[in-house]
Amino acid sequence: MGYRIGVDIGGTFTDFCIFNDATNDLLSLKVLSRPDAPGSEVMEGIRQIDARYGIKPKDVVYFTHGSTVGINTVIQRKGLRLALFTTAAFEDVLEVARLKMPDPYNLFSRRPEPLVTRDRVIGIKGRIAADGSVDAPVEEADVLAALAKARALGAEGIIVSLLHCYRNPAHEQQVKGILAKAAPDMPVFLSSEIWPIIREYERTTTAVVGSYPQTRVAHYLTALQKALKDIGVAPEPQVTKSNGGIMKAELGKTASLQVLLSGTASGVMGAAYVSRLCDLKNCMSLDVGGTSADVAFVIDGQPQYGVGEIVGEFPIYIPTVAVTSIGAGGGSIAHVDAQGVLKVGPESAGSRPGPACYGRGGDRPTITDAFVACGFMGSSAGAQLGYRAVTIDPAKARAAIDTVAKPLKLGTVAAAEAIIKVAVSGMFMEVSKLVSRYGVDIRDFALLPFGGAGPMLGCFLARDLGVKEVVVPPTPGVLSAMGGLIADFKNDFIKTAFVDAAPAAMAAVRESFAGLRAQALRWLKEEQGYQGKHRLAYAADMRYRGQSFEIETPLEERWIEAGDAKAVAAAFHERHKQLYQYADAEAAVQMINLRLVVIGESPKPSFKKLPDTREPAKPAATIEVTLDGAKQSVPFYRRVDLKPGQRFSGPAVVAQDDCTTCVPGGFAIAVDAYGNLRLTLTK
What is the pLDDT averaged over residues 355-377?
A: 92
Rounded CA separation 484/475 (Å): 14
Residue 387 has pLDDT above 60, yes or no: no
CATH of the domain at 542: 3.30.1490
Rg of the chain over CA atoms, in angstroms? 26
Residues 230 and 113 in one domain: no
pLDDT digits (tens, 9 = 90+) for 87-103: 999 999 999 988 777 77
Q: How confident is the model at residue 386, as a pLDDT?
A: 41
Residues 199 and 97 in one domain: yes
Residues 86 and 58 in one domain: no
Residue 350 has pLDDT above 50, yes or no: yes
Worst-scoring range by mean pLDDT, 289-298, 463-472, 552-561? 289-298
CATH of the domain at 57: 3.30.420.40
Rounded CA separation 131/167 (Å): 7
Q: Grade residue 37 by pLDDT with cuts at 50, 70 and 90.
A: confident
| Structural domain contains residue 298 | no
β 127-128/134-136 pair status: antiparallel
| Structural domain contains residue 670 | no
| Structural domain contains residue 478 | no
Does the pTM exceed 0.85? yes
Q: How confident is the model at residue 382, as a pLDDT?
A: 53
pLDDT digits (tens, 9 = 90+) for 570-591: 999 999 998 888 999 999 999 9
Q: How confident is the model at residue 672, as a pLDDT?
A: 94
| Structural domain contains residue 86 | yes
C-alpha closest to that of 328 among 378, 363, 370: 370
Residues 224 and 205 in one domain: no
Q: How confident is the model at residue 40, as a pLDDT?
A: 85
Residue 381 has pLDDT above 60, yes or no: no
Instruction: Output the average pLDDT for the chain.
Output: 91
Residues 95 and 208 in one domain: yes
Cβ proximity of 262 and 241 under 8 Å: yes
CB atoms within 10 A of CB 680: 14
Residues 223 and 193 in one domain: no
C-alpha closest to that of 487 among 215, 183, 665, 258: 258
Residues 97 and 163 in one domain: yes
DSSP 85-135: EEETT-TTHHHHTT---S-TT-TT--PPPPSS-GGGEEEES-EE-TTS-EE
| Structural domain contains residue 11 | yes
Residues 125 and 248 in one domain: no
Structural domain of 204: 80-212
| Structural domain contains residue 648 | no
Residues 289-300, buried b or exposed e (16+ Cβ, 10 A)?
Answer: bbbbbbbbbbbe
CB atoms within 10 A of CB 610: 14
| Structural domain contains residue 482 | no
What is the percent of the chain with per-residue pLDDT over 70, rounded to a whole number?
A: 98
Residues 265 and 335 in one domain: no
Residues 64 and 85 in one domain: no
End residue of a domain, out of 423, 442, 471 = 423
Q: Grade residue 72 by pLDDT with cuts at 50, 70 and 90.
A: confident
Q: How confident is the model at residue 609, as a pLDDT?
A: 85
CB atoms within 10 A of CB 323: 24
| Structural domain contains residue 319 | no
What is the percent of the chain with per-residue pLDDT over 90, rounded to a whole number?
A: 69
pLDDT digits (tens, 9 = 90+) for 161-174: 999 999 999 999 99
Rounded CA separation 631/653 (Å): 14
pLDDT digits (tens, 9 = 90+) for 274-311: 999 999 999 999 999 888 888 999 998 889 888 888 88
Cβ proximity of 647 and 669 under 8 Å: yes
Q: Give the residue with greater pLDDT, 608 vs 515.
A: 515
End residue of a domain, out of 314, 343, 377 = 314
End residue of a domain, out of 314, 344, 370 = 314
What is the pLDDT averaged over residues 447-474?
A: 94
Q: Grade residue 388 by pLDDT with cuts at 50, 70 and 90.
A: low
Q: Structurally, how many domains does the chain consist of? A: 4
At 258, is the secondary structure helix, strand, or coil? Answer: helix
Cβ proximity of 197 and 90 under 8 Å: no
Cβ proximity of 515 and 528 under 8 Å: no
Q: How confident is the model at residue 509, as a pLDDT?
A: 97
Rounded CA separation 455/472 (Å): 7
Q: How confident is the model at residue 425, as a pLDDT?
A: 93
Residues 56 and 97 in one domain: no
Cα separation values, 468 from 58, 355, 404, 418, 616, Å:
45, 32, 34, 24, 24
Q: How confident is the model at residue 253, as a pLDDT?
A: 92
DSSP state for residue 137 in the 8-state scheme: P
Non-local CB neighbours of 609 within 8 Å, separated by 6+ positions: 644, 673, 674
Q: Grade residue 658 by pLDDT with cuts at 50, 70 and 90.
A: confident
Residues 169 and 255 in one domain: no
Q: Grade residue 384 by pLDDT with cuts at 50, 70 and 90.
A: very low
Q: Grade residue 391 by pLDDT with cuts at 50, 70 and 90.
A: confident
